[in-house]
Amino acid sequence: MVWSQQLISVGLLIILFFQSGVDGGNGYYHTTVDQCRSSSKELSDVEYIRSSWFNKAEYLRFNSTVGNWEGYTAFGVQNAEIYNKDTSIMGQMRAEKDRVCRQNLPIDFEAILSKTGEPEVVLSLAKPSSSGHPAVLMCSAYDFYPKMIKLTWYRDGQEVTGSVISSEELADGDWYYQIHSHLEFTPKAGEKISCMVEHTSLKEPKVIPWDSSMPEPERNKIAIGAAGLVLGVIIALAGFIYYKKKSRTIL
């Protein structure tokens, strides 16, 4: 028996129990899957489902909401008729919702849904502005859980609704997610741009500011120029000191 769990949407939890049999000679697979579904932690609408599969095709299912077995193939219909007439089997299946679901779902809600992962937020210039073309800022949030998150752009204190393209929450495969939002804009001196992230793991929204007083390429040019100027002054000063020492030696 293998136990696995999967959150398929906010507040919806499925517990899966797999029992698989393999015919080694012919490579046939038979799988039984038990599911517990609920849209709330109170379990007021909990539903128990058992389904039987043969080589990826479901042929038989019991649903606690329906209250009986249903067949999807000729073989499944035949088995469903037999099981539905067996009071012992039916009594056992109707009791599984309490035995399997109501005992295990609270544990899973506590172990999984109560856990959070705070997003790591990075604001970067994805595309610098060029002649006749706007710049693109990218706000990225990494390693957050649960899935629901909100990224909002602000420009000079006003929410930006246009010129924004955002990805869906992307699963990393390890329970964590990432998301990316792009803002297209034409840089203006002195303006204030920021990306605000809202997530259940944060006590308050996280705001990441961007210094848009000057496009990044221009800032880099100034930084390089300033570094070159300082280096030139140092070299000139060293040369002047050497010259003075040399002059004294000659005298």
pLDDT of residue 198: 96
Q: What is the largest CA-CA distance in the chain?
A: 122
169-180 residue pLDDT tens: 999 988 899 999
Q: Residue ranges per domain, the chain? A: 2-113, 120-216
d(CA 208, CA 206): 7
Residues with pLDDT less than 70, the chain: 1-27, 212-233, 236-251
d(CA 91, CA 87): 6
Common-topology check for domains 2-113 and 120-216 = no
Backbone angles phi, psi at 35, to 5 degrees: -125, 140
Give 2-113's CATH code, choosing from 1.10.3470.10, 3.50.50.60, 3.10.320.10, 3.40.50.620. Answer: 3.10.320.10
pLDDT of residue 11: 36
pLDDT of residue 250: 56
The DSSP result for the chain, as a single string, is -EEEEEEEETTEEEEEEEEEEEETTTTEEEEEEEEEEESSTT-TT-EEEEEEEETTEEEEEEETTTTEEEESSHHHHHHHHHHHH-HHHHHHHHHHIIIIIIHHHHHHIIIIIT--BPPEEEEEEEE--BTTB-EEEEEEEEEEBSS--EEEEEETTEEE-SSEEEPPPEE-SSS-EEEEEEEEE---TT-EEEEEEE-TT-SS-EEEEEE-SS-HHHHHHHHHHHHHHHHHHHHHHHHHHHHHHHHHHH-
- Range 120-216 classified under CATH 2.60.40.10: yes
CA end-to-end span of the chain, whole Å? 97
Cis peptide before 106 (omega within 30 of 0): no
